[in-house]
Structure 1
Amino acid sequence: MNVVAEMLVSSPAPAIWATLMLLTLPALLLLGSPQAMRHPRKAALETVAALRERGLQRRRRQEEAARAAQFASEVQVAAERAAASAGRWQEVWEQASAALTTAYGAWLEADARVRTAASAAAWGTPWSVRTCEEYAARERYLHRNVAAAVSRGELPASAMADAVAGRNGWDARLHQVEQELVIARASAAWLRQRYEAAVAAEAAAWHDTSLARRAAGSLRDEAQAAAVRAAAMAPVRGDTEVRARRQVVLFAGNFVQSALR
């Protein structure tokens, strides 16, 4: 490619500079390459081809830059959504952790009640029920205390039906002290199950939170890298007149070098 073609296909210039360069094309051809005056058609075709190729390259770069910017925008949106999702999973884990602490405390309190009830029952109590009134009183005591434990969350709702039906270890004939021990043991067993379920729920929530954090971090890094690539591919938008002046200076320098040769 000759010097004139190189000058024309470089950075774009304002219309006035392009017009002046087209008007002075014969002189430029002569100054840039004396061989071009012997074959002006060939030189013109080469220049037009070079301009067309540079235009195609410029459009390709612009399209690639647009795609890179679009990709960076989409990844940024995905990263923001992933960060929000990680924040929600963090809240879920915090709630599960608080529930675990509560369940553990409830289980410890129930275990303490078992020891207290066992100490009271160790003194011994009369087993036989002498009158119907005494049996009715023990039955009412059992039902009332089981219902209270269910309302406090210390027993499942099914415990009340079992106590009324007299199944699964519930016996209204027992003395009130022994009934307290039965209730305390049943409550401790139930709250231990609740604690174990809370342990599993907290572990699952932590696992999901960790995955969400890693996904958010990966997308954040990808978004930063995509933004850097998009910025590097974005066209530099400077002042067109300044670029045109720089082009004229560059051509003048090439002319002086050609003349000195």
Structure 2
Amino acid sequence: MESVVQTLLGAVPQATAIWLSLLLILAVAVAVAAVPKGIDTAPVVPAEENRFAAELEAAADEAAEAAVRRRAEWVTAQETVDAAWAAYEEASETARRISAATAFPLMSRRRKPGENIDRQRYLHRVASELCRSQNLSIAQLNDVFAHRGWNPRLHPVQQEAVLRNAVREHRFAAYRKAFECEQAAWRSAEAAAETLRTLRAEAAAARLAGPAAEPADQQWWADQWTPAELPAAA
């Protein structure tokens, strides 16, 4: 009798362990069955999680392209300024050289019949050639033909000095215009760079802040940062 009781007592822990295992398996099965079907448990894409930051980053990309274009326009404007200054210096040196050569007065003599007509034709021909080579402006050429501020009866040597001074004035005016364009291009490039820096800073801040930073009215923000608002070349 004692051996039977001992055998039963020894089997109790084993039966208890088996029942506990069955209960655990049943609980796991119930939990799995309770999970809803068709739910996507994949992690949320950052761009979907924070659309405001993604839109800012897209605007920053557009601003970066605009900044590159403005920078290239400024570099081109700088090259134009350098070329205009070189042309002015060349014209100024030529004018000084010719003025020095005509420092001595010409011998006075009686003019031949028709000589004034020849001098006038010489002035018109040389002025036209200088205008075609862009050394004189159209306005200056019109003044030559209208004799506004020009004496067509001067000797060709004297006319050459006057013409070269006019060329120097034209080249200096071209330099000043190129300089003004370069300054406008520089301001445009700086504005585009500042816009890019601002957008990048705001995009970084929005990315760190997370979806809570997204404003309620997305259309308002889109209106504020349209590509048309980026700085344009002057």
TM range (shorter): 0.5 to 0.7
Counterpart for residue 151 of structure 1: 132
Counterpart for residue 113 of structure 1: 94
Counterpart for residue 210 of structure 1: 190
State the 1:18 CA deviation.
Answer: 5.2
Distance 1:148 1:221, change over 3 A: same
1:53-104 Cα offsets, whole Å, 9 max, x none, are: xxxxxxxxx8xx8775211221111101111111111121111111100110
State the 1:212 CA deviation.
Answer: 0.8
Letter in 2 for 1:224: A
Q: Going by fraction, where is helix more abundant, 1 or 2?
A: 1
Aligned residues: 177
Counterpart for residue 193 of structure 1: 173
State the 1:210 CA deviation.
Answer: 0.9
Distance 2:95 2:169 in 1: 10
Counterpart for residue 82 of structure 2: 101
Are residues 1:73 and 2:59 paired?
Answer: no
1:152-193 Cα offsets, whole Å, 9 max, x none, are: 2111112222111211x2111001111111111111112111
Distance 1:229 1:115, change over 3 A: same
1:190-235 Cα offsets, whole Å, 9 max, x none, are: 21111112222211211111111111122123223333444999xx
Are residues 1:85 and 2:71 paired?
Answer: no
Q: Secondary structure at the match of 2:143?
A: helix
Q: 1:163 aligns with which of 127, 130, 144?
A: 144
Letter in 2 for 1:123: F
State the 1:131 CA deviation.
Answer: 2.5
Distance 1:16 1:101, change over 3 A: farther
Tell me if structure 2 keeps the 8 A contact 1:89–1:212.
yes
Q: TM-score, normalised by structure 2?
A: 0.67
Counterpart for residue 39 of structure 1: none
State the 1:128 CA deviation.
Answer: 6.4
Distance 1:20 1:71, change over 3 A: closer
Distance 1:66 1:195 in 2: 50
Superposed, 1:227-246 pairs within 5 Å as 227-230=207-210
Tell me if structure 2 keeps the 8 A contact 1:114–1:184.
yes
Tell me if structure 2 keeps the 8 A contact 1:89–1:209.
yes
Tell me if structure 1 keeps the 8 A contact 2:51–2:211.
no
Distance 1:173 1:213, change over 3 A: same
State the 1:119 CA deviation.
Answer: 1.1
Tell me if structure 2 keeps the 8 A contact 1:125–1:177.
no
Distance 1:208 1:19 in 2: 64
Q: Secondary structure at the match of 1:131?
A: coil
1:213-259 Cα offsets, whole Å, 9 max, x none, are: 111122123223333444999xxxxxxxxxxxxxxxxxxxxxxxxxx
Superposed, 1:119-138 pairs within 5 Å as 119-126=100-107, 130-138=111-119
Q: Tell me the percent identity.
A: 32
Counterpart for residue 252 of structure 1: none
